Amino acid sequence: MPGKSMQSTPIPYQNLLDTSKSSSERIYLSPPDIGLEEKELVMEAMESNWIAPEGPTIKTFEHELSQYLGTEHVIALNSGTSAIHLGLKLLGVGQDDLVIVPTFSFCAAVNPVLYLNAIPVFVDCENSNWGLDPEILEEAIKNCINTGSKPKAIVIVHSYGMPAKMDELRIISEKYQVPILEDAAESLGSMYKGQQTGTFGALSVLSFNGNKVLTTGGGGALILPDRHSYEKVLKWSTQSKEALPYYHHIELGFNYRISNIAAAIGLGQFKNLQNRIINKRLIHDQYVNNLSEIQGLSFFEDDSDCTSNKWLTILNINSSVAGKNNLEICEELEELGIESRPVWQPLHKQPLYRKYKSFIKGKAEQLFSVGLCLPSGSALSDNQVEYVSTAIKSILHK
Ligand SMILES: Cc1ncc(COP(=O)(O)O)c(C=O)c1O
């Protein structure tokens, strides 16, 4: 099945909004998009009775992931957060180590730093694609070194699927010899200079949460440099059991392996992965066509270095021109049965993380005041995108 087709407005705006939606028709931000293949593979896994965090489908799923990314060593885990946790542990992060984290990110990029009793240092994002700002990153690393502690790792996030400036960031990582943990949780299928995100870090992370472009219900993966680190993470993720007939533990372990049933969903999700990405990109284009002419509204567009999977379409609202801000529009969309969400509140502004050092130029704060994530599920119909666009126009009296 090819991707959904672009369609000009088939129903007048007013009619679209008159179709008052019941709660069962609520339009979600990015719900799972599941096909027959997934159901068949789950049934097969059930019939084989491999209903456990081990089984043959996990291996097949890992193989499929490594083929897709063009890398050799991929371990499937029960979440992207667990993958970040074990990734940082593999990089040697421990008590009181400093770890650079983008302030413009989801909490899962920083919480594993705290699980390891390490200390986050927040760095602002840059203007063009909302990834870690290379200049501010360098300033932060120098400052840490001057105050006696070189950071142990740099977490880089491809925000909302948009590839961060990897060339510039890698130069800094190499210059100061601080490894990158690449958080590609949201960006499976996004490319930077023709290369898949998820292949740039010393280690890289994917998420298969229900809202991601490839879901296993809940799950994640860590992309590793070699077989040795695969074996190490495999052991940690399965309670660090020693290879003995009885339970014997030397190292602290975790229950982080993906289940065979979840891996079956993931394997099925591969079949239509490219179409789901195409659909997300078409949804983005449809929103741009519908809304970008309105004064005060704008969208992020890929630059020549990047192709984003457009995991979520973000609408930027200049409230002094548009008349309403992102929070007001979010609340009014909710009344119409449409889920939207302001972009991330910068981590350094949140009570849990406020006490940590941050290097800020105001970009993440500015984004938080203007950005709104629009419904972007790959199964969204043209009419649903029209409905959301019409709702926004009517909220702004356009
Ligand atoms: C940027 C980012 N990092 C990490 C995660 C964590 O992934 P998970 O929900 O699979 O734990 C998510 C998503 O949920 C995310 O959006």
- ∠ CA 323-324-328, nearest 5°, is 165
| Residues contacting residue 300 through CB under 8 Å, at least 6 positions apart | 129, 130, 162, 308, 314, 316
CATH of the domain at 24: 3.90.1150.10
d(CA 256, CA 212): 19
Give the bridge partners for 372, in sequence order: 315, 342
Whether residues 177 and 51 share a domain: the answer is: yes
Tokens coding 33: 């998009």
Instruction: Looking at the structure, tell me whether residues 84 and 55 fall in a common domain.
Output: yes
Model confidence, pTM: 0.95
Do 154 and 258 sit in the same domain of this protein? Answer: yes
What was the pLDDT predicted at 19? 47
Domain residue limits at 229: 36-270
Mutate to test the pocket of ligand 1, among 84, 208, 209, 257 (most ligand atoms within 8 A of CB): 209
Residues 140 and 248 in one domain: yes
24/40 same-domain check: no
Q: Is the pLDDT of residue 330 over 60?
A: yes
C-alpha 98 chain-centroid distance: 23
The CATH number covering residue 262 comes to: 3.40.640.10
**What's the pLDDT band for 160 if we cut at 50, 70, 90?**
very high
| Å from CA of 304 to ligand 1 middle | 26
pLDDT over 70 (residue 7): no
Residues with CB under 6 A from ligand 1: 79-81, 105-106, 108-109, 157, 183, 185-186, 207, 209, 220
Instruction: Give the Å distance between the CA of 366 and the centre of ligand 1.
Output: 22
Q: How far is 303 from 322, CA to CA, in rounded Å?
A: 25
Residue 3 belongs to some domain of the structure: no
Of 270, 286, 320, the domain-final residue: 270
Query: Which of 225, 248, 270 is the last residue before a domain boundary?
Result: 270
For 54-69, what is the mean pLDDT? 97
289, 325: one domain: yes
Q: Do 181 and 110 reside in the same domain of the chain? A: yes
Domain count, the chain: 2
The mean pLDDT value for 78-104 works out to: 98
Please report which confidence band the pLDDT of residue 398 belongs to, taking 50, 70 and 90 as the band edges. Answer: confident
